[in-house]
């Protein structure tokens, strides 16, 4: 006899350290609420289907309700020897109400039970994540609204490319996050399915009503194949994948925040509340939070690859390997929630050094495309216009000046198509304003973009 819920066919017990290796209670206790909710729905259904008597159902339900209260008050004493959240709760229930507690598991297995818990858990949490993404998007929109007419250098290859509206740059992240939000939202329909009643893998001989328990739990559908119901972890992979891509976006933004707050760039300053100092260098103000988020993208990817690897070689249906789905999921959830909250605060409170950005955009060659476009608009083939402009840039570099400092005579040496009005076109502000193409950086287009964003956030 092993003293376990499954101990009947065993002659001896495993040693404590072996039990400990197999136990998941250390982490799956985070599913306590979902496990109790799942059990309440299951036992209600057993009653409705007259598999258990009304008295039995009442006793079990009352016991479960008491456990729920204890769980809310953190009064449950989980034990490693009871392996996981399911067996811990069942043990507590039978200790409380007697052997009738053992009837709760009629027509159910831990395999459909654990899957049900995970579905319930993720369904709730993914909605929270979506809400946090929206808060962050709102912070981006607010900063962008303050910076529609703030000129900034736009980069490719981290080399100054063309002047842009700083709001336009910030809003790029809004749209990335919008896609993240869509992906999470989309995924809910695959999380929102009930595996409960699939049993160990083959269904059950009891006349259960899976649709009823699903409905009681607020699920929109039930798995159509009992083996699939207990074997499927796609919805967790999807969560980890959506989270990884979200973290990639956050990491990219974090990288820019870090660069922008260097002395070399000084485009922004982070609020003290989101920065840290150095224990040795008194002058330091470090963007630790942004760096941490950049770093945490790595652990989110790790969790995704981890689970994909766990799943790739296991046969149907449940295998204990699948217990490994949990820690990564909890960890990624924790990472994503923390990162989104921090980022929202960081962006909301950062100050934008508009004068530095203004200076940056006036002291460079990011208006060179304007000159080439000017010539092309006058009929010169664009390739030729590119060449002419390149020569003028080279002349400037040799003289240590910028395009706007050239005299019209110097310009006309390269092409007589260049006339005095070229100087209007070369002003960075004009370069930005004139980009009226849909989705371009022109102020009017950026305003339209902000309007659309605000509608999406309503
Ligand atoms: N703790 C287990 C897990 O997380 C629960 C399911 C156990 N099922 C079983 N047949 N051993 O996967």
Q: Is 84 in the pocket of ligand 1 (CB under 6 A)?
A: yes
Q: Catalytic positions, please?
A: 157, 278
CATH number corresponding to 111-145+164-205+221-353: 1.20.200.10
- Distance from C-alpha of 274 to C-alpha of 170, rounded to nearest angstrom: 19
- Distance from C-alpha of 118 to C-alpha of 141, rounded to nearest angstrom: 34
**Ligand 1 centroid to residue 6 C-alpha, Å:** 12
Q: Is 35 in the pocket of ligand 1 (CB under 6 A)?
A: no
- Distance from C-alpha of 199 to C-alpha of 16, rounded to nearest angstrom: 29
pLDDT tens track for 228-245: 999 999 999 999 999 999
Output the residue whose Cα is nearest ligand 1's atom 4. Answer: 323
- Architecture category of domain 14-106 in CATH: Orthogonal Bundle (1.10)
* Whole-Å CA distances, 143 to 149, 229, 453: 12, 45, 13
Q: Is 318 in the pocket of ligand 1 (CB under 6 A)?
A: yes
If 0-12 CB within 10 Å is exposed, 13-18 middle and 19+ buried, where does residue 451 land?
Answer: exposed
- Distance from C-alpha of 236 to C-alpha of 246, rounded to nearest angstrom: 15
- Distance from C-alpha of 97 to C-alpha of 94, rounded to nearest angstrom: 5
- Distance from C-alpha of 443 to C-alpha of 446, rounded to nearest angstrom: 5
Closest to 157 (Cα-Cα) out of 410, 377, 366? 366
**Ligand 1 centroid to residue 22 C-alpha, Å:** 10
Q: Is 231 in the pocket of ligand 1 (CB under 6 A)?
A: no
CATH number for 363-445: choose from 3.40.50.300, 1.10.40.30, 3.50.50.60, 3.40.50.2300.
1.10.40.30
Residue length of the chain: 458
Q: What is the DSSP letter of 88?
A: H
Pocket perturbation via mutation, ligand 1, pick of 5, 83, 84 by most ligand atoms within 8 A of CB: 84
**Ligand 1 centroid to residue 114 C-alpha, Å:** 7
pLDDT tens track for 383-396: 999 999 999 999 99
Tokens 């607010």 correspond to what residue?
142
Helix ranges (DSSP H) in 222-364: 226-231, 234-260, 288-312, 325-349, 354-362
The residues spanned by each domain of the chain are 14-106, 111-145+164-205+221-353, 363-445
Output the residue whose Cα is nearest ligand 1's atom 7. Answer: 110
Q: Is 230 in the pocket of ligand 1 (CB under 6 A)?
A: no
User: DSSP assignment of 4-48, as one string?
Assistant: STTGGG-SSPPPHHHHHHH--HHHHGGGHHHHHHHHHHHHHHHHH
In b/e form, how buried is each residue of 53-85, taking b as 16+ CB within 10 angstroms?
Answer: eeebbebbbebbeebbebbeeeebebebbbbbb
Count of beta carbons in the 10 Å neighbourhood of residue 221 = 12
The pLDDT of residue 2 is 62
**Contact (Cβ atoms closer than 8 angstroms) between residue 132 and residue 337:** yes
In b/e form, how buried is each residue of 383-403, taking b as 16+ CB within 10 angstroms?
Answer: eebbebbeebeebbeeeeebb
* Whole-Å CA distances, 402 to 273, 310, 435: 40, 58, 22
Q: How far is CA 396 from the centre of its chain?
A: 46
Tokens 């160990």 correspond to what residue?
200
**Contact (Cβ atoms closer than 8 angstroms) between residue 150 and residue 166:** yes
pTM for the full predicted model: 0.94
Output the residue whose Cα is nearest ligand 1's atom 11. Answer: 320
> Tokens at residue 22, please?
């197999």
**Contact (Cβ atoms closer than 8 angstroms) between residue 245 and residue 297:** no
**Contact (Cβ atoms closer than 8 angstroms) between residue 23 and residue 88:** no
Question: With a cut of 50, which residues of the chain have pLDDT below it?
Answer: 1
**Ligand 1 centroid to residue 320 C-alpha, Å:** 6
* Whole-Å CA distances, 222 to 104, 110, 189, 212, 234: 21, 17, 11, 10, 15
The pLDDT of residue 314 is 97
**Ligand 1 centroid to residue 109 C-alpha, Å:** 9
Is 14-106's fold the same as 111-145+164-205+221-353's? no
The pLDDT of residue 213 is 98
């Amino acid at each position: 006899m092993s003293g376990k819920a499954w101990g009947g066919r065993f002659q001896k017990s495993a040693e404590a350290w072996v039990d400990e290796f197999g136990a998941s209670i250390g982490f799956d206790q985070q599913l306590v609420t979902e496990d109790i909710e799942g059990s309440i729905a299951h036992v209600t259904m057993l009653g409705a289907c007259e598999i258990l008597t009304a008295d039995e159902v009442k006793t079990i339900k009352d016991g479960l309700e008491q456990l729920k209260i204890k769980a809310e008050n953190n009064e449950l004493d989980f034990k490693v020897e009871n392996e996981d959240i399911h067996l811990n709760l069942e043990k507590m229930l039978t200790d409380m109400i007697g052997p009738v507690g053992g009837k709760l598991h009629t027509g159910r297995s831990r395999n459909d039970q654990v899957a049900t818990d995970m579905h319930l858990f993720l369904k709730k949490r993914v909605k929270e994540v979506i809400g946090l993404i929206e808060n962050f998007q709102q912070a981006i929109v607010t900063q962008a609204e303050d910076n529609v007419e703030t000129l900034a250098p736009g980069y490719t290859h981290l080399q100054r490319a063309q002047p842009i509206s700083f709001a336009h740059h910030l809003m790029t992240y809004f749209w990335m996050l919008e896609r993240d939000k869509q992906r999470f939202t989309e995924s809910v329909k695959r999380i929102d399915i009930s595996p409960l009643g699939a049993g160990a893998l083959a269904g059950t001989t009891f006349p259960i009503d899976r649709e009823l328990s699903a409905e009681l739990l607020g699920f929109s559908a039930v798995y159509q194949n009992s083996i699939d119901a207990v074997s499927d972890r796609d919805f967790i992979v999807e969560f980890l994948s959506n989270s990884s891509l979200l973290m990639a976006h956050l990491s990219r933004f974090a990288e820019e925040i870090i660069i922008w707050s260097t002395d070399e760039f000084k485009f922004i300053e982070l609020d003290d509340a989101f920065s840290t100092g150095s224990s040795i260098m008194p002058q330091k103000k470090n963007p630790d939070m942004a760096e941490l988020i950049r770093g945490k993208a790595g652990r989110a990817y790790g969790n995704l690859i981890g689970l994909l690897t766990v799943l790739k070689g296991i046969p149907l249906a449940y295998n204990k390997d699948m217990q490994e789905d949990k820690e990564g999921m909890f960890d990624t959830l924790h990472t994503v929630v923390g990162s989104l909250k921090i980022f929202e605060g960081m962006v909301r409170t950062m100050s934008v050094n508009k004068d530095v950005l203004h200076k940056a955009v006036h002291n460079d060659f990011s208006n060179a495309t304007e000159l080439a476009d000017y010539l092309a608009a006058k009929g010169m083939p664009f390739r030729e216009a590119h060449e002419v402009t390149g020569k003028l840039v080279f002349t400037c570099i040799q003289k240590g000046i910028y395009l706007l400092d050239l005299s019209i005579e110097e310009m006309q040496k390269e092409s007589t198509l260049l006339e005095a009005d070229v100087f209007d076109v070369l002003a960075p502000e004009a370069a930005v304003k004139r980009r009226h193409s849909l989705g371009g950086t022109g102020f009017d287009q950026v305003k339209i973009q902000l309007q659309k964003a605000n509608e999406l956030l309503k």
